[in-house]
Structure 1
Amino acid sequence: MSRPFAAARVLVSHRRSQGSDFVLAVFLAGIAGASNAGGFFALGQYTSHMTGYLSQIADNLVIGNLLVTATALLAIGAFTTGAAFSTFLVNWARHRMGRRQFALPLAVQGACLACFAFGGIFTTLPGRMFALACLCFIMGMQNATITKISGARIRTTHATGMITDVGIECGRALYRLVQPRRAVRPDGAKLRILLSLIGTYVVGGIVGALGYAVVGFYFSLPLAGLLLALALPTFGAAGGRMVPRPGHR
């Protein structure tokens, strides 16, 4: 068994460690950043900013812009559906496919991202709406997948939450300087993980912006290939049923 295949199987294995969670989260954060930036270049919309879409609904309902309101509702609905579908797949695969419970949703995300690569053929407004929904669906799937894998410790598209957590740790560090005798202290390991994820997300965004600006929708193909390369080796591994971990639902 070659090392790349072995590494991929470890990263999506049902047996988790903080190290494998971190590496997988960094990998997915880069893809999320690239996909999100690419969605803006290809569609003029960011596809993981649910807070922004909620604000759009409120603002545009007030001014009577029903098209923008409908677009925001579509994006939120697709993201939520993607998260729900990922959770369904994880639970279904846990009971039907044994150790492949995390590989399956990643493989489906890769397949969906490959389909998005051909979204450029949809030049009409309904077609572009479909492409937007597709990418939001993928973003929802990915965020739910890493949330399930890490036991809700890590999210890869929720930049607002990550940056908030960075601010909290910085506040703890400042308080520690002012009141060194108090028990309050920053979590250095958590801060390093957060900064790594944010940095990877930004780098992925730069790569995605450049890629989609040059080749358009087709830049989704290498991103899809990365997800499939991560997930598919697990399907060649020996099967077997497993006992679900407590707390996984």
Structure 2
Amino acid sequence: MPFSSLQDRPKREMEHWVIAGGCALTFLSATANAGFLIELGTSVSHLTGDVSKVAVEFAQGTHRVVELAMNLLVATLSFLLGATMAGYAIHHPSLEISRPYGRAVMVIGVCMLIAHAVLSAFPLAAIGVASFACGFQNALATHYRGMILRTTHITGLLTDLGTNLGMTMRGHDIARWKILIPLFLVLSFFLGSALGAVLVIRLHAPFLLVVASLYVAGGLSWSIYKHWFSPKMR
């Protein structure tokens, strides 16, 4: 007998799926970002630090300012394009399990595979493709039951976590998942960053190939699950 649709299951189980999927995506984007930081000195999953870095280099008049500015420009435009494509393909900001997230995650994996293929010969192109993938991922589902979801950076997550903790201390009745989701996503980003560093520094492994494989495997697994075990979700 096939499993019932996730949409008909208790909200608590739905929260478990959101936490698991969000943590997996956050973990992988952090792994890719750490690898790019080590290899090229550029972030692909978030851009705030790179903006400050370029501004500092410009003020100091260093010779790297042009290179860093070009990296930032490519990453910014690519991230924006990825988010735009996610908005077009998914066309809804709220998380809905019935949407084609499995195929979307496989697309992210293919992008990371392309970035791996061009990283050595065309690093700027690799930055662009990986930033596109991260922008696409970050915009897949931006809201869940009123909470803003982000899976490529943690500043907003820390804000939500701190706000909800403070309100809890104040005596407000804050749902447990509003604390657990940002907490687990932040921890996932840290662990993913650690993995990226280990892959590059200690193992000298192709970090993007590892990340791409996990994205594709995860997206394919979710698509198969939806198709064979939860037909109502299609």
Answer yes or no: same fold by TM over 0.5: yes
Partner of 1:79: 79
The reply to whether residue 23 of structure 1 matches residue 23 of structure 2 is no
5+ residue gaps in structure 2? Answer: 7-12, 92-97
Task: Within 5 Å, give how 1:85-234 maps onto structure 2.
Answer: 85-91=85-91, 101-122=100-121, 127-147=122-142, 153-176=148-171, 184-216=172-204, 218-233=206-221, 234=223
* Structural RMSD (CA): 3.4
Q: How far apart in 1 are the matches of 2:143 and 2:104? A: 11
Q: How far apart in 2 are the matches of 1:171 and 1:149? A: 21
Letter in 2 for 1:39: F
TM superposition outliers: structure 1 runs of 4+ over 6 Å: 148-152, 241-244
Deviation per CA, 1:105-130: give whole Å up to 9, x if none.
211111111122223431xxxx2211
Structure possessing the higher radius of gyration over alpha carbons: 1
Among all aligned residue pairs of Structure 1 and Structure 2, give the percentage whose two residues are the same amino acid: 25
Secondary structure of the residue that 1:17 maps to in structure 2? helix
Tell me how far 1:59 sits from its aligned partner: 4.8
- Count of residue pairs the alignment pairs up: 214
Tell me how far 1:232 sits from its aligned partner: 2.3
Partner of 1:70: 70
TM-score normalized with structure 2 length? 0.75
Q: How far apart in 1 are the matches of 2:145 and 2:24? A: 14
Tell me how far 1:38 sits from its aligned partner: 1.2
Tell me how far 1:168 sits from its aligned partner: 1.3
Tell me how far 1:161 sits from its aligned partner: 0.4
Partner of 2:36: 39
CA distance 1:202–1:150, change in 2 (3 Å): farther
Tell me how far 1:191 sits from its aligned partner: 1.1
